[in-house]
Amino acid sequence: MANQYSDNRSEADGHLKIVARLALAFVLAFAAGCSSGTKDGSSPANNGNQPGGSTPVQPFTGPDPNLGVKVRDKAAKADSYAITYGPLTKADIDTLKTYPLVIVHPYNGNLTRDHIMWIKQGVNPNDPSDNPVVLCYVSIGEDTRTFQLTDAQMRADSRFTGDGSGPSIDPRGPGVRSLVGLDPKGTPTNGGFASYYVNDNALRCAGDPKNVPDQNGNFLTRFVNAGDPLWYSTVSDMRMDVNSHTPPGLRELLTEDYGRGLGCDGVFLDTIDTAAPNKYTACSDTNHSSSEWTAKGFSDFIRRLRADFPNKIILQNRGLFFFDPREPHYQVSARGVIDIGFFESYYLDNDSQTSVSRYFPDNKYNSMPKIMAEANRPDGFKMLSLGYANGFGGAKPGMDVQTLLGNSTTGYDILMQDILEAHSVGFRHYITNAPVDLVNSFVKDNENMNDTTAPAWSSVFNVHYNDYPTSAPDVRPGIGKIDLSGDTVTLSWDVALDMNRVNYALYYQTVPFNFTLPQPLANATKAVLTPSVGSGYDLVWQTPDPGLALQNVYPYQSSVTLPGLQGGTTYYLLLRAFDSKGNEEVNQVVWTCSNTTCSKL
């Protein structure tokens, strides 16, 4: 995934923490179109203007195997998945058929409809229940057609000049952080390029070129404003076989009557990190970007995609800041529209210098609880994660990528811990090699999906948020606070984590709970809650110290009416978390409410 950058996060106390954000290793040449080599190190066959060749397959006759299948529902139930950015062999296809959810890269793999349909058919052609759903890669935050092109070459090509009003720049005034109410096209510079390119680096970094599109310094493609309506139509209409370095667009991916008509079940949206907070990168970074103002435009792009393809699966890769209330991006996230979020490099990243990612503590103790608070909302999404068994510089210490294929045992325990760390918090995981082209079944063969463990309480507030490396937060179980209005109580609470979806239930009764009894809740009224965003949670980013502000707010709240409360009836209340398998935790945080007051016992 293209936008590889460092997260230089200046905290309120002046600390500067560097948290690397590794772009998914579409890597060597990403979707931009340079040849990526085969898994054995040889050079792949180059088919036309495409970067490599998948093994030809027999034509697939008949309709789409998933015709009439509710693919979004099927994706939501998938307990495993596979991802590959490489060309496909028949053996690869046979392995991918065994997964309920598959992600492929049609451009890098030079895939046809036949490849996609053979995967969709599953292991048993006569059993549609085993059909995988297939998602296909598309970049929406970088224009992969511009790979290695100079400014002069772009000016000479009408595809990149448009009406000449671009590149655009941040329309906000100095010091303004809000991302709401902005002109979706930004402020034009009239530099002679299409309106959807951006030139925000020149605003922030002395010496950066002005009036030309900003470039990804690692992968040499140009950043774009996804919220520009012209960009959506451009991405929709792109076709693989028309111009060099041109990947399939939305219509070619999601339909069967345009271009190659790939008929994918959904899309894997990449390069969303173009809209990352400006503070995440410094001007000295090779790949810096300063276009946070485009964040709402990315969500608008996704919402338009949902409107155009209501039955297709939408996966958002990274863009994790959209789910963090410490950032203004939280107010413009695409939650409620996307089906799947994707956390790359959660435990094992593609750094060959270390086995476990040096950023794992921050991922686990700061980012993950906030993400899962969003994922498990009523309008939330499924979370996938990805780990790497090696790095771009070679083998990781104490690991061998061949362990994924059963040809070695080196690093087996680390790989198993990678699975455990991901699954224990609700992610569905896959492990690959740095170029993301090693099709394997390691996770699926070694995972334990038997969930007999109740959810464990965590917290979106971490008192150690200024420390690096971060340590675990103090958990906040059960009810965190109660606001009272007449006979209605509004409960606020924190997040609990589990390998399966977490829900919350309120138990209340008019006599104290007796936890010495075998069934202390037997006579209580149980109300399964439908939580909304906690009061003030979406405004944390506006405070002088957002990390500290989370101490006094909660991600969830819900209101319940307690009959007779104002008439003098006293109630005892207890909130517990339970997972979709029926496992319920047993905290004993009890509150009592009477007349006009509520307090924790």
Nearest-CA neighbor of 598 among 458, 476, 492?
492
Burial bucket for residue 123 (CB in 10 Å: 0-12, 13-18, 19+): exposed
CB atoms within 10 A of CB 171: 15
The confidence score (pLDDT) of residue 120 equals: 98
The confidence score (pLDDT) of residue 414 equals: 98
Identify whether 167 is preceded by a cis peptide bond (ω within 30 of 0).
yes
Helix residue ranges per DSSP H, 78-157: 90-96, 106-109, 113-120, 151-155
The confidence score (pLDDT) of residue 355 equals: 96
- How far is it, in rounded angstroms, from Cα 245 to Cα 29? 11
The confidence score (pLDDT) of residue 174 equals: 87
pLDDT tens for residues 415-431? 999 999 999 999 999 99
* Cβ 309 vs Cβ 339: under 8 Å: no
This prediction has a pTM of 0.93
- How far is it, in rounded angstroms, from Cα 26 to Cα 530? 39
The confidence score (pLDDT) of residue 4 equals: 34
Whether 45 has a pLDDT exceeding 60, the answer reads: no
Arithmetic mean of pLDDT, 296-324: 97
Whether 39 has a pLDDT exceeding 70, the answer reads: no
Query: pLDDT confidence of 25, banded at 50, 70, 90?
Result: very low
* Cβ 5 vs Cβ 285: under 8 Å: yes
Residue type, 560: V
The confidence score (pLDDT) of residue 17 equals: 32
The confidence score (pLDDT) of residue 569 equals: 95
The percent of residues in the chain predicted with pLDDT above 90, rounded, is 86
The confidence score (pLDDT) of residue 2 equals: 40
Arithmetic mean of pLDDT, 311-329: 97
E strands, 297-349, are 313-317, 340-344
The percent of residues in the chain predicted with pLDDT above 70, rounded, is 91
SS3 411: coil
Whether 109 has a pLDDT exceeding 80, the answer reads: yes
Whether 19 has a pLDDT exceeding 80, the answer reads: no
pLDDT tens for residues 174-232? 889 999 999 999 999 999 999 999 999 999 999 999 999 999 988 899 999 999 999 99
| CA-to-CA dists, residue 76 to 71, 79, 100, 406, 477, angstroms | 9, 9, 10, 29, 27
The confidence score (pLDDT) of residue 595 equals: 86
Residue type, 170: D
The confidence score (pLDDT) of residue 301 equals: 98
pLDDT tens for residues 341-400? 999 999 999 999 999 999 999 999 999 999 999 999 999 999 999 999 999 999 999 999
Query: pLDDT confidence of 54, banded at 50, 70, 90?
Result: confident
135: part of which helix (H) or strand (E)?
strand 133-139
421: part of which helix (H) or strand (E)?
helix 412-423
The confidence score (pLDDT) of residue 403 equals: 98
The confidence score (pLDDT) of residue 325 equals: 98
Whether 7 has a pLDDT exceeding 50, the answer reads: no
pLDDT tens for residues 559-581? 999 999 999 999 999 999 999 99
Arithmetic mean of pLDDT, 284-292: 91
Whether 440 has a pLDDT exceeding 80, the answer reads: yes
| Angle subtended at Cα 23 by Cα 215 and Cα 395, rounded to the nearest 5 degrees | 125
Whether 6 has a pLDDT exceeding 80, the answer reads: no
Whether 69 has a pLDDT exceeding 90, the answer reads: yes
The confidence score (pLDDT) of residue 86 equals: 96
Nearest-CA neighbor of 150 among 201, 205, 215, 207?
215
pLDDT tens for residues 480-496? 999 999 999 999 999 99
The confidence score (pLDDT) of residue 350 equals: 95
Arithmetic mean of pLDDT, 308-334: 97
The confidence score (pLDDT) of residue 52 equals: 58
The confidence score (pLDDT) of residue 478 equals: 98
Q: Are strands 82-83 and 101-104 parallel, antiparallel or unpaired?
A: parallel
**Which residues have C-beta within 8 Å of that of residue 54, sequence separation ≥ 6?**
87, 88, 89, 109, 110, 111, 115
Whether 27 has a pLDDT exceeding 80, the answer reads: no
**Which residues have C-beta within 8 Å of that of residue 169, sequence separation ≥ 6?**
186, 187, 189, 198, 199, 200, 202, 203
Least confident of 53-57, 330-334, 353-357: 53-57
Residues across the chain: 601
Helix axes 229-237, 295-308, angle to 10 degrees: 50
pLDDT tens for residues 240-255? 999 888 999 999 999 9
Which tops the pLDDT comparison, 24 or 32?
A: 24
Averaged pLDDT of the chain: 91
Query: pLDDT confidence of 466, banded at 50, 70, 90?
Result: confident
- How far is it, in rounded angstroms, from Cα 367 to Cα 348? 15
* N-to-C CA span, the chain: 50
